[in-house]
């Protein structure tokens, strides 16, 4: 079967809602341009590799390809950031407050450490819980209480 641009575009249009729903889960991790590229590439790969004898639906195969395309983009980004993590990143925005003030306003030392690990250390609640010998739900609640306090003070 020859795969033409017309076939790719018609398949893309037919399954656009399904592709959008699959991509919406990753919209905070991947840029919109990359998501569109992943959609088109997933449609192309699905048309190229779909086999009816494997008893899989075309839509399922398409969604799986879409997910794997997005995962490959995320892996490439993570690899890039790991490789360049020691280089200074220039920020295009300025803070109107000192970030140290945020941490100094937190009364509990445990909450201060949890907030620091979550925001600066980019740790998951599970990892924070292990580090501080609390369950992940406690770490999450402490962090959310901090956010509520911060919202009220900043208003």
Domain ranges of the chain: 5-83, 99-154
d(CA 62, CA 19): 8
d(CA 94, CA 89): 13
Q: What angle do CA 20, 25, 30 make, to 5 degrees?
A: 90
pLDDT at 104: 60
Q: 14 or 97: which carries more pLDDT confidence?
A: 14
Topology of domain 99-154, CATH: Arc Repressor Mutant, subunit A (1.10.10)
Its pTM stands at 0.50
Burial of 15 (0-12, 13-18, 19+ CB in 10 A): buried
DSSP-assigned states of every residue in 62-109: HHHHHHHHHHHHHHHHHHHHHHTTTS----S---SS-HHHHHHT---H
Residue 118 has pLDDT above 80, yes or no: no
Burial of 124 (0-12, 13-18, 19+ CB in 10 A): middle
Residue 138 has pLDDT above 80, yes or no: yes
Residue 33 has pLDDT above 70, yes or no: yes
If pLDDT is split at 50, 70 and 90, which confidence band does 35 have?
confident
pLDDT in tens, 70-104: 888 888 766 655 555 555 444 343 444 445 555 56
Residue 15 vs residues 12, 32, 52, 114: alpha-carbon distances, Å: 5, 18, 18, 43
pLDDT in tens, 44-56: 999 988 888 888 8
């Amino acid at each position: 079967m020859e795969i033409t641009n017309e076939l790719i575009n018609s398949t893309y249009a037919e399954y656009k809602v399904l592709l959008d729903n699959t991509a919406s889960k990753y919209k905070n991790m991947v840029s919109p341009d990359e998501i569109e590229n992943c959609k088109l590439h997933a449609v192309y790969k699905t048309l190229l590799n779909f086999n009816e004898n494997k008893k899989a639906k075309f839509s399922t195969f398409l969604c799986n390809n879409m997910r794997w395309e997005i995962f490959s983009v995320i892996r490439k980004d993570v690899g890039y950031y790991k490789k360049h993590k020691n280089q200074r990143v220039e920020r295009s925005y300025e803070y109107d407050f000192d970030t140290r003030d945020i941490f100094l306003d937190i009364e509990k030392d445990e909450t201060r450490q949890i907030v620091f690990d979550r925001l600066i250390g980019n740790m998951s609640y599970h990892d924070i819980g292990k580090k501080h010998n609390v369950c992940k739900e406690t770490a999450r609640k402490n962090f959310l209480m901090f956010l509520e306090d911060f919202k009220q003070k900043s208003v």
